[in-house]
């Protein structure tokens, strides 16, 4: 996994990957900007009878948007990069796995969108379901962080490897590959989750994760 990370970091200068990084960051931040504007408008209307309601709405909307950015960045970023993952995977395959690139098939946009929405939904549903566990483990000091990492490593490993496997395998074979390589996908998820919690590095995490998943998938093929 460490080698996959090094190879992925080394390819960040690839023009195709730089384009995906710029697009994914732009779209992700635009989504949160629209969310922030919607929150501000709603609060401004709700507080319209209050003195200085515009300023109050602005402060509250800024705080709520930053909270949403912190809590939901991973879900939104993976959804967005999922729509652009073909370009990342193709760039990695072009440099390191040209034979695999020749036999790959493009993933239709609707399929990428379905996978991305499924990823975001699983992230939200599973973490909401785990919230009582996270709260109960606060007394341990480290239990909440450990549980969060384990749960989200499992989710992220699945999401990233599915992006790559779908280019080369039919749906049933993707499920079989996922079962056979669950431990490797989990390690990938741990690495990706670690990247997502590091400030600034988390901006690169979705693209790095997709590139690492490409290396992982092809290194498990006969």
Residues 68 and 109: beta-carbon distance below 8 Å: no
Other Cβ atoms closer than 10 A to 92: 28
pLDDT for res 212: 93
Q: What is the pLDDT of residues 138-177, one digit of tens each?
A: 888 788 889 988 998 999 999 899 888 888 888 888 888 9
| pTM for the whole structure | 0.84
pLDDT for res 186: 93
Question: What's CA 27's distance to the chain center, in Å?
Answer: 13
Name the least confident of 36-50, 120-134, 166-180: 36-50
* pLDDT value at 100 more than 70: yes
pLDDT for res 49: 66
Q: What is the dihedral of CA 144, 147, 153, 158, to 10 degrees?
A: -130
């Amino acid at each position: 996994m460490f080698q996959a990370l090094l190879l992925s970091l080394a390819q960040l200068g690839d023009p195709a990957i730089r384009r995906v990084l710029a697009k994914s960051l732009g779209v992700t931040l635009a989504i949160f900007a629209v969310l922030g504007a919607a929150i501000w408008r709603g609060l401004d209307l709700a507080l319209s009878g209050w003195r200085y309601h515009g300023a109050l709405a602005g402060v509250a909307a800024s705080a709520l948007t930053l909270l949403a950015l912190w809590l939901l960045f991973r879900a939104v970023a993976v959804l967005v990069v999922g729509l652009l993952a073909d370009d990342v995977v193709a760039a990695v395959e072009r440099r390191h796995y040209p034979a695999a690139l020749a036999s790959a098939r493009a993933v239709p946009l609707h399929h990428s969108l379905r996978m991305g929405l499924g990823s975001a939904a699983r992230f939200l549903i599973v973490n909401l379901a785990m919230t009582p566990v996270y709260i109960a483990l606060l007394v341990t000091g480290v239990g909440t962080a450990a549980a969060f990492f384990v749960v989200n490593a499992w989710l992220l490993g699945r999401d990233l490897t599915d992006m790559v496997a779908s280019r080369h395998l039919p749906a049933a074979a993707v499920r079989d590959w996922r079962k056979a390589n669950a431990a490797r996908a989990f390690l990938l998820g741990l690495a990706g989750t670690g990247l997502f919690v590091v400030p600034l590095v988390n901006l690169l995490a979705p693209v790095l994760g997709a590139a690492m998943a490409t290396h992982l998938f092809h290194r498990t093929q006969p």
